[in-house]
């Protein structure tokens, strides 16, 4: 079975290849100037004070959680409609997790659900982690206000939504990643993300202490800062370092960062094209009986469309989700489900997490259709025709 249109695909250009090839000729393959340049470029592009690059989005979540004090006594509230990494990184801190319900249409955590989760959490909450699902921003100003009431931090899982725009109650515009309403935002540079390194991630923050701790833990917890040493062998010891706590090897390489730096230059172009594809899908699929296209935002740049999640009433259609996916695949169209609610996973179910109505409604109907930069208008039309044929 040949999939002509996968649900996602990376976008690699000759400039990307040339950038990686140039990095291979540099003095270092890791911990060199390209990593520093990529971090500086991220800071400039997102308008944030610090960018700490690491080797995956999961590592970035782990670093952010550790920097903000998650642990056995202080846990996390997040959404169940997300990839495993959002909660697994908290469990890597031995932190407890509670789930807040989501809007049944968008799949995003709501302010009201976050408040309920915080109120009834069975442990002190260090942070909430809203996920901007598929590229659509959550109500960050509202979530920030609720978090402040309960004395906890906000860590954005922004892996789907780099530079998506949103407004506060006064109408002022912000961009996902600038951390205007959060303590930190986490990005992923997985192969199919807006900026791709194969694997990679970053912690964005305006807080010096968060950035410093993320950098420390990213590199085994070792410090070369003489002011922090406790047992230096001599005043001038250029070889010396100390480790005061356990850290990890979460470093990204020069090659990966060369690719990320090259791709970052095209982030705006990628976001604009994805918005065009979403509009075209809405026009081609907007009048089907058993399928609902995701709502288009009032302002085009307020959704960056990492995913295109259609809502299909499989029960009314008379076909299971698997049957629809297989029928699409037989016609060359890939699809995927984002996501199985995390409380359904055996690991989390064994901890007593219960189903949530909004998440169940969203999961029962969602199916992600192809969405990536390389889709031409004629490709979108072809995919839409096949979807119409299958979902009648």
How would you write the chain as a 3-class SS string? CCCCECCCCCCCCHHHHHHHHHHHCCCCCECCHHHHHHHHHHHHHHCCCEEEEECCHHHHHHHHHHHCCCECCEEEEECCCCCCHHHHHHHCCCCCEEECCECCCCCCECHHHHHHHHHHCCCCEEEEECECHHHCCCCHHHHHHHHHHCCCEEEEECCCCCCCEEECCCCCEEECCCCCCCCEEEEECECCCCCCCECCEEEEECCHHHHHHHHHHHECCEECCHHHCCCCCCCCCCCCCEECCCCCECCCEHHHHHHHHHHHCCHHHHHHHHHHHHHHHHHHHCCCCCEECCCCCCCHHHCCCCCEEEEECHHHHCCCHHHHHHHHHHCCECCECCCCCHHHCHHHHCCCCCCCHHHHHHHHHEEEECCCCCCCHHHHHHHHHHHHHHCC
Query: Per-residue pLDDT averaged across 303-318, rounded?
Result: 98
Can you give the pLDDT at residue 279? 98
Indicate if the pLDDT at residue 81 is higher than 70.
yes
Can you give the pLDDT at residue 235? 85
Give residue 389's pLDDT band: very low, low, confident or very high (50, 70, 90). very high
Q: Where are the domains of the chain?
A: 14-264, 267-390
Query: Per-residue pLDDT averaged across 121-132, rounded?
Result: 98
**82: its two tokens:** 């997300």
Place of tokens 């991220």: 42
The domain made up of 14-264 has a fold known as 3.40.640
pLDDT tens for 243-293 read 999 999 999 999 999 999 999 999 999 999 999 999 999 999 998 999 999
Tell me whether strands 291-292 and 308-312 are parallel, antiparallel or unpaired.
antiparallel
What is the value of pTM for the model shown?
0.97
Place of tokens 């609720």: 146
pLDDT tens for 352-371 read 999 999 999 999 999 999 99
pLDDT tens for 159-206 read 999 999 999 999 999 999 999 999 999 999 999 999 999 999 999 999
Residues in the chain, total: 392
Give residue 20's pLDDT band: very low, low, confident or very high (50, 70, 90). very high
State the average pLDDT for the chain: 97
Provide the CATH number for the domain formed by 267-390 in this structure: 3.90.1150.10
Query: Per-residue pLDDT averaged across 333-350, rounded?
Result: 98
Report the range of poorest mean pLDDT among 149-153, 233-237, 288-292.
233-237
pLDDT tens for 92-116 read 999 999 999 999 999 999 999 999 9
Do residues 295 and 264 lie in contact, with contact meaning Cβ atoms separated by under 8 Å?
no
Indicate if the pLDDT at residue 19 is higher than 70.
yes
Can you give the pLDDT at residue 225? 92
**What whole-number distance in Å separates Cα of residue 14 and Cα of residue 108?**
36
Can you give the pLDDT at residue 1? 66
């Amino acid at each position: 079975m040949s999939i002509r249109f996968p649900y996602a695909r990376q976008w690699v250009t000759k400039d990307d290849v040339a950038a990686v090839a140039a990095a291979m000729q540099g003095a270092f393959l890791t911990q060199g100037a390209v990593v520093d340049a990529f971090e500086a470029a991220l800071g400039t592009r997102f308008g944030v004070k610090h960018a700490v690059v690491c080797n995956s989005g999961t590592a970035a979540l782990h670093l952010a959680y550790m920097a903000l004090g998650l642990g056995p006594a202080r846990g996390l509230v997040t959404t169940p409609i997300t990839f495993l990494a959002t909660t697994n990184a908290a469990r890597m801190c031995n932190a407890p997790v509670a789930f807040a319900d989501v809007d049944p249409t968008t799949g995003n955590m709501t302010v009201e659900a976050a408040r309920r989760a915080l109120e009834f959490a069975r442990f002190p909450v260090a942070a909430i982690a809203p996920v901007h699902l598929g590229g659509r921003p959550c109500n960050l100003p509202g979530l920030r206000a609720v978090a402040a009431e309960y004395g906890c931090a906000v860590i954005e899982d922004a892996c789907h939504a780099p530079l998506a725009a949103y407004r506060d109650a006064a109408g002022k515009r912000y961009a996902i990643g600038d951390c205007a309403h959060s303590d930190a935002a986490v990005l992923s540079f997985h192969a199919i993300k807006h900026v791709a390194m194969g694997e990679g991630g970053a912690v964005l923050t305006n807080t010096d202490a968060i950035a410093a701790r993320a950098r420390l833990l990213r590199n085994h917890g070792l410090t070369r800062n003489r002011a922090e040493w406790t047992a230096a062998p001599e005043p001038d010891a250029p070889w010396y370092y100390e480790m005061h706590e356990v850290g990890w090897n979460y470093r990204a390489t020069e090659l990966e960062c060369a690719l990320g730096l090259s791709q970052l230059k095209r982030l705006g172009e990628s976001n604009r094209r994805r918005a065009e594809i979403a509009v075209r899908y809405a026009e081609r699929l907007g009048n089907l009986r058993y399928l609902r296209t995701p709502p288009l935002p009032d302002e085009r740049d307020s959704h960056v469309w990492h995913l295109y999640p259609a809502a299909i009433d499989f029960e009314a259609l008379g076909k299971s989700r698997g049957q629809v996916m297989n029928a699409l695949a037989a016609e060359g169209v890939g699809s995927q489900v984002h996501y199985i609610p995390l409380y359904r996973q055996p690991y989390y179910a064994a901890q007593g997490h219960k189903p949530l109505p909004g998440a169940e409604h969203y999961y029962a109907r969602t199916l992600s259709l192809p969405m990536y930069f390389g889709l031409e208008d004629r490709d979108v039309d072809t995919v839409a025709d096949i979807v119409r044929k299958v979902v009648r």
